[in-house]
Amino acid sequence: MKPRHALVIAGLLILGGDVLAWTVQTDRGRIEVQDVRWEGTSGTTMSALLYVPPGVDASAQAPGVLAVHGYINSRETQDGFAIELARRGFVVLAIDQTGHGYSDPPAFANGFGGPDGLAYLRSLDFVDNDNIGLEGHSMGGWAVLIAAAAAPEDYRSVVIEGSSTGTSGAPDATAEYPRNLAVVFSKYDEFSALMWGTPVPGDVPAGEKLMAAFGATAPVEPGRVYGAIDEGTARVFHQPPVTHAADHFSRVAIGHAIDWFETTLDGEKGFDPGDQVWYWKEIGNLVALVGMVVLLFAVGTMLLEHPALAPIAGRPAPSRGARGGAWWGAAVIFVTLPALTLFPFKDVGAALPVSALFPQSITNQVMVWALLNGAISGVLLAGWHLTRGRAGGATPDDYGLTWEGRVLWSRIGGSFALALVIAAAAYAALALSAAVFTTDFRFWVFAVKPMSPLHLRMALVYLLPFVLFFGAYGAVISGQLRRDGSTTGTVLRAVALSTLGFAALIAWQYTPLFMGGTLASPTESLWSIIAFQFLPIMTIVGAVTAYFHERTGHIYLGAFLSAMLVTWIVVASQATHYAF
């Protein structure tokens, strides 16, 4: 395909996906979606998306719902809840928790931002302050429960999804607190031990903690309403057949929240909780995301065809990489090493204190994992070269490192500049989508978001470690493991080698959970969910690395572009723990 044709396809995918996402998010233009900021506790700038249904103003107030995402998510993660509640006439404020998205750090501060969110929602003159509900997923559940405890007269009902009372600052439930509580805790939730004290999530209804929260003397019956709504003592429990992260991607889980707010709040214009359209926005976001990835290749290919970039463009020499059993041995190590080391190496990174230089705890852990894997891969590649590769005629040229045995810094610098231009083109498409349609590029737990100035500052520091990792990664996959063949075959092979290990790790973790037990490694609940994000990330960088090696004969453009993309995606999506 000619690059200009790919550029047109990319543009159509991005525009088409954006239009679909905007159409669903705004209910065909009837719901106003605003990107709002306000000053919260201690001068903290808070961020949110505000959904205002049609016909709502100070003279025609509507019930309001505060919606709060979980740890290392952002306000857009609550889209399913926000869209469906706004369609039914609720004003919805979906906040970024402190230290998340565009709310000021540090994470965990000020009751996770819950009290500030409730206060802002109540300050809106078109919100009926006698009809306010609170909804939170995971850590967002703690945020709304803390808000409920801080302002016990300022809300009427609560829905917590994948969350619990009596955890991380959220008080234990009593007969009076929280008022009219719905607990939606999924059958395969990875955090059942943390949240409700039962290692097996299916046992939560019979757990002492949930029974105490409901004032029950026997296992809690799903779907049964305990207590009385008029007295504020109502309790209901639901257990949809999904995982923790799938709560906000489940029509069943979202339907339970809709039903509870329609039951406990007055003034809404409700219809069947099963009548939902939010997932079309997710499809639109996914289409736009695919368009952004296509854009990377289209822009890169067009630029490499320019005469000024002729020194960077080129084709790789015939492969002198591993063959036969040696190839398969190297491939097994390449596939399994990153997945096998994910949990232990991130623990090493967890020991790195957050600071102004490295302010994001999860990003620190990913960074350390990457650096250690890069170092091991480099040592193994050097050992193979000295024992096998050199004897087969391989030189640094064959690993895409040198030009006729020379390191040409001008071409390496040119590759960096070209990678920056390609990444900037993708970023411009995202920024335009955010400005025009109030959307970003995402699917489920994976999101590509615009960076704030603080995110950009952090990304400049985190970039170098990822460059080092993707340099080693590129030398192995495009040198030792490369086989001669078509560009398409080379790209598909690189994607498979880059993702199979993580797919196997996820399968190993979740198979016993789905069989009615716990995760294979129950202490790795959070990182089991994070592992899912490695699949799209490594798909993208595997394709980028292989494709641009085929177009240049060297690793540098692919390594720089992969590092820029991963740094951008990770930093913009993660929580910031340092208080700047």
Is residue 156 within 8 Å of residue 132, measured between CB atoms?
yes
Token pair for residue 316? 């790789």
Token pair for residue 247? 């709560």
What are the boundaries of each domain within the chain? 31-276, 281-309+317-573
Looking at residue 127, its amino acid is: V
- Residue 268, pLDDT score: 65
β-pairing, 157-161 with 127-137? Answer: parallel
H or E stretch at 369: helix 361-384
Looking at residue 174, its amino acid is: T
Q: Is the dihedral of CA 463, 464, 465, 468 positive or negative?
A: positive
Is residue 283 within 8 Å of residue 23, measured between CB atoms?
no
H or E stretch at 39: strand 32-39
Half-sphere exposure of 464 (CA within 13 A, CB side): 5
Closest CA to 522 of 217, 272, 192: 192
How many angstroms separate the CA atoms of 461 and 517, rounded? 41
Looking at residue 218, its amino acid is: A
Q: C-alpha angle 458/464/469, rounded to 5°?
A: 125
Scan for tokens 């080698």, then name that residue: 497
Q: C-alpha angle 540/294/286, rounded to 5°?
A: 75
Tell me the sheet residues that pair with 65. 92, 133
What SS3 string covers 473-501? HHHHHHHHCCCCCCHHHHHHHHHHHHHHH
Is residue 193 within 8 Å of residue 199, measured between CB atoms?
yes
Token pair for residue 59? 């003279």
H or E stretch at 66: strand 62-68
- Residue 222, pLDDT score: 97
CATH tag for 31-276 (out of 3.30.565.10, 3.40.50.720, 3.40.109.10, 3.40.50.1820): 3.40.50.1820
- Residue 267, pLDDT score: 72
Closest CA to 499 of 467, 541, 559, 545: 541
Token pair for residue 119? 């206060």
Is residue 264 within 8 Å of residue 179, measured between CB atoms?
no
Closest CA to 367 of 454, 298, 287, 469: 469
Tell me, what DSSP letter sits at residue 385?
I
- Residue 322, pLDDT score: 83
Tell me how far the alpha carbon of residue 480 is from its chain's centroid. 32
How many angstroms separate the CA atoms of 111 and 147, rounded? 7
How many angstroms separate the CA atoms of 277 and 23, rounded? 10
How many angstroms separate the CA atoms of 13 and 19, rounded? 10
Q: What is the pLDDT along the chain (580 residues), one digit of tens a residue?
A: 788 999 999 999 999 999 999 999 999 999 999 999 999 999 999 999 999 999 999 999 999 999 999 999 999 999 999 999 999 999 999 999 999 999 999 999 999 999 999 999 999 999 999 999 999 999 999 999 999 999 999 999 999 999 999 999 999 999 889 999 999 999 999 999 999 999 999 999 999 999 999 999 999 999 999 999 999 999 999 999 999 999 999 999 999 999 999 999 987 667 888 899 999 999 999 999 999 999 999 999 999 999 999 999 998 888 888 889 989 999 999 999 999 999 999 999 999 999 999 999 999 999 999 999 999 999 999 998 899 888 888 889 889 999 999 999 999 999 999 999 999 999 999 999 999 999 999 999 899 999 999 999 999 999 999 999 999 999 999 999 998 889 999 999 999 999 999 999 999 999 999 999 999 999 999 999 999 999 999 999 999 999 999 999 999 999 999 999 999 999 999 999 999 9
**Backbone Cα Rg of the chain:** 25
Tell me how far the alpha carbon of residue 302 is from its chain's centroid. 30
